[in-house]
Structure 1
Amino acid sequence: MVAVAGASGFIGQALGPNLSESFAPISLSRSLREPGGGYRSCRQVDLFSLSGATEALRGARFAVYLVHSMMPAARLVQGHFEDLDVLCADNFARAAAEVGIEHIVYVGGLLPSGNALSEHLRSRQEMERALGATGIPVTTLRCGLVVGARGSSYQLLARLVRRLPLMVCPSWTSSRMQPVALGDVVAAITQVTDDVPDKSRVFDLGAADAVSYRELMAATARSFGLTRRFISVPVLSPGLSRLWVTLTTGAPKALVAPLIQSLRHDMLARPDAKLPTERPTTSLVEMLREAADEQGDVTIVPRAFRRATRPKGPSTVCSVQRMTTPPGRDIRWVADEYFRWLARKMRGLIHITRSEDGQEIQFVFRLTGQPLLGLRRLAHRSGPDREVMLVTEGLLARTTERGRLEFRNVLGDRTLIAALHDFVPRLPWWIYRVTQGTFHRWVMVRFGAHLRRLSRDETPKTETS
Structure 2
Amino acid sequence: MAGWTARRLTCRGTAEYPFSRPDTNAFEDQIMASNSDTLVTVFGGSGFLGRYVVRALAKRDYRIRVGVRRPELAGHLQPLGKVGQIHAVQVNLRHPASVRAAMRGSEVAVNLVGILTKSGRQTFDAVVAKGAATVAETAAAAGARLVHVSAIGADPASASAYARAKASGEKAVLAAVPSATILRPSVMFGPEDQFANRFAALALISPMLPLIGGGATRMQPVHVGDVATAVADAVDGRTKAGAVYELGGPDVLSMREIMRIILRVIERERMLVPVPFLMARLMAMGLQFAPGPLKLTPDQVALLRTDNVVSNTATAAGLTLQGLGIAPDSMEAVVPQYLWRFRKAGQFAPKGA
Q: What SS is found at the alignment partner of 2:272? A: strand
Q: Which residue of 1 aligns with 2:143?
A: 100
Q: Which residue of 2 aligns with 1:261?
A: 302
Q: Which residue of 1 aligns with 2:90?
A: 44
- TM superposition shift of 1:52: 1.7
Q: Which residue of 2 aligns with 1:445?
A: none
- TM superposition shift of 1:246: 5.3
* TM superposition score normalised by structure 2: 0.73
Do residues 277 (structure 1) and 324 (structure 2) align? yes
Q: What SS is found at the alignment partner of 1:133? A: helix
- TM superposition shift of 1:168: 4.1
After TM superposition, the structure 1 = structure 2 runs for residues 51-450 of structure 1, keeping only pairs within 5 Å, are: 51-69=97-115, 77=120, 80-101=123-144, 103-111=145-153, 115-171=157-213, 173-195=215-237, 199-234=241-276, 236-242=278-284, 250-251=292-293, 256-270=297-311, 271-272=315-316, 273-275=319-321, 276-293=323-340
Structure 2: stretches of 5+ with no match in the other structure: 1-38, 344-353
- TM superposition shift of 1:178: 0.7
Q: Which residue of 1 aligns with 2:46?
A: 8
Q: Structure 2 vs 1, CA of residues 19 and 197 (structure 1 numbering), >3 Å: closer, same or farther? A: closer
46-55 vs 26-35, which moves further: 26-35
- TM superposition shift of 1:51: 2.0
The answer (yes or no) to whether the contact 1:159–1:249 under 8 Å persists in 2 is no
Tell me which structure has the larger Cα radius of gyration: 1
Q: 2:114 is matched by which residue type in structure 1?
A: H
The answer (yes or no) to whether the contact 2:212–2:304 under 8 Å persists in 1 is no
In 1, distance between residues paired with 2:135 and 2:342? 33
Write out the 4+ residue segments of structure 1 that deviate beyond 6 Å after TM superposition: none
- TM superposition shift of 1:165: 2.7
Q: 1:14 is matched by which residue type in structure 2?
A: Y
The answer (yes or no) to whether the contact 2:196–2:335 under 8 Å persists in 1 is no
Per-residue CA distance 1:55-87 (angstroms, 9 max, x = gap): 111111111111113999xxx956852244322
In 2, distance between residues paired with 1:230 and 1:252? 16
Q: Structure 2 vs 1, CA of residues 252 and 108 (structure 1 numbering), >3 Å: closer, same or farther? A: farther
Q: What SS is found at the alignment partner of 1:191? A: helix
In 1, distance between residues paired with 2:239 and 2:208? 49
The answer (yes or no) to whether the contact 1:26–1:42 under 8 Å persists in 2 is yes
Q: Structure 2 vs 1, CA of residues 252 and 295 (structure 1 numbering), >3 Å: closer, same or farther? A: closer
The answer (yes or no) to whether the contact 2:154–2:167 under 8 Å persists in 1 is no
In 2, distance between residues paired with 1:70 and 1:114? 17
* TM superposition score normalised by structure 1: 0.56
78-87 vs 145-154, which moves further: 78-87
Identity value in percent = 25
The answer (yes or no) to whether the contact 1:221–1:227 under 8 Å persists in 2 is yes
The answer (yes or no) to whether the contact 1:144–1:180 under 8 Å persists in 2 is yes
Higher helix content, 1 or 2: 2
Q: What SS is found at the alignment partner of 1:28? A: strand
The answer (yes or no) to whether the contact 2:155–2:166 under 8 Å persists in 1 is no
Q: 1:81 is matched by which residue type in structure 2?
A: F
Q: 1:291 is matched by which residue type in structure 2?
A: Y
59-68 vs 223-232, which moves further: 223-232
Q: Which residue of 2 aligns with 1:454?
A: none
Q: What SS is found at the alignment partner of 2:324? A: coil
- TM superposition shift of 1:260: 2.0
- TM superposition shift of 1:233: 4.6
Q: Structure 2 vs 1, CA of residues 277 and 55 (structure 1 numbering), >3 Å: closer, same or farther? A: same
- TM superposition shift of 1:263: 0.6
In 1, distance between residues paired with 2:277 and 2:204? 24
In 2, distance between residues paired with 1:294 and 1:109? 29
Per-residue CA distance 1:183-230 (angstroms, 9 max, x = gap): 111111111212166641111111222111121111111121222221
Q: Which residue of 1 aligns with 2:67?
A: 28
- TM superposition shift of 1:169: 2.6
- TM superposition shift of 1:117: 4.4
Q: 1:224 is matched by which residue type in structure 2?
A: I
In 2, distance between residues paired with 1:114 and 1:86? 11
- TM superposition shift of 1:172: 5.1
Higher strand content, 1 or 2: 1
Q: Structure 2 vs 1, CA of residues 172 and 265 (structure 1 numbering), >3 Å: closer, same or farther? A: farther
Q: What SS is found at the alignment partner of 2:297? A: helix
Q: Structure 2 vs 1, CA of residues 183 and 132 (structure 1 numbering), >3 Å: closer, same or farther? A: same
- TM superposition shift of 1:26: 1.4
